[in-house]
Structure 1
């Protein structure tokens, strides 16, 4: 498994958290009960594991590309780095909006809308990385450099913990119905129904 395989595997774990957020938003908007704790824990996951670990690993790939002076457009790296910064900003904003919802200062819809925007951003970002950027990296970076990048990944993960384990925990803690919400109990969707 090379550095790109690791990043793509992490994308699958992050996608599961995006699915939980998407189901939570749909469930809440349909009148179901969704605890703000779900969004608070999701914001923590996004800041600690997506930004702090996954994006840091991707930054190692960016640095490997630029340090070798390889002909990868600066525009591509700038766009992807900009999306990382926007994701970090949105995750921090989500954390603050959740706190305001808990205090009764904002409506849950604001939390839902921000979570929904983050999900769209992440999915588009992943599509560009996997469809265009990662294949270029594999063509341009020699195997020995990819191994050095992968070794740096281990240090990043040691500092943050396993992204996959964190995604598993969040997904298991907030088992929401699959979209669209179809389960009915007492005339209302079950707030924590199975998938």
Structure 2
């Protein structure tokens, strides 16, 4: 598994959290009860594991690419970098709004709107990375450079913990009912269903 495979695998874990947020927004707007704690913990996941770990790993890829002569301030690399910043800002806002909802200072709709905005951003960002950026990286980075990037990933993950395990913990803490509609290809059986 090379550095790009690791990032793609992490995208699948992040997508599970996006599905959870999408369900929570839909359920809450439909009149169902959704704890603001879900949004606060999801924001923590986004800031710690997506921004702090996953985006840091992508930052290592950006650095490796710029070392090969691709300018950071132009094209797809610049757009993806800017999206990382926007995602960080939205996640921070989501955390603060969820806390305000818990205190009764804000209405849940504000957290729903922020969560929905983050999900849209992330899905478009992931599509762009996987269809445009990652193939470019594979063309431009030789195997030895890719191995150096992968070694840096291990240090980043050691500092933050496993993104996949954090996604698992969120799903366990806030289970989506088995009857909920999930995106095709992203259905994951909950470990306690069928036992």
TM-score (norm 1): 0.90
Return closer, same or farther for 1:84/1:66 CA change in 2, 3 Å cut-off: same
Aligned to 1:160: 160
Unaligned runs of 5+ in 1: 181-193
Structure 1 position 77, deviation (Å): 1.0
Separation (CA, whole Å) in 1 of partners of 2:181 and 2:108: 19
Structure 1 position 68, deviation (Å): 1.8
TM-score (norm 2): 0.90
Unaligned runs of 5+ in 2: 183-192
Separation (CA, whole Å) in 2 of partners of 1:54 and 1:23: 23
RMSD (CA atoms): 1.4
Structure 1 position 76, deviation (Å): 1.3
Aligned to 1:20: 20
Separation (CA, whole Å) in 1 of partners of 2:181 and 2:33: 15
Aligned to 1:67: 67
Residue of 164, 172, 181 corresponding to 1:179: 181
Separation (CA, whole Å) in 2 of partners of 1:73 and 1:158: 29
Aligned to 2:188: none
Tell me if 1:92 matches 2:86: no
Larger Rg: 1
Q: Secondary structure at the match of 1:69?
A: coil
Aligned to 1:141: 141
Q: Contact 1:48 / 1:160 at 8 angstroms: preserved in 2? A: yes
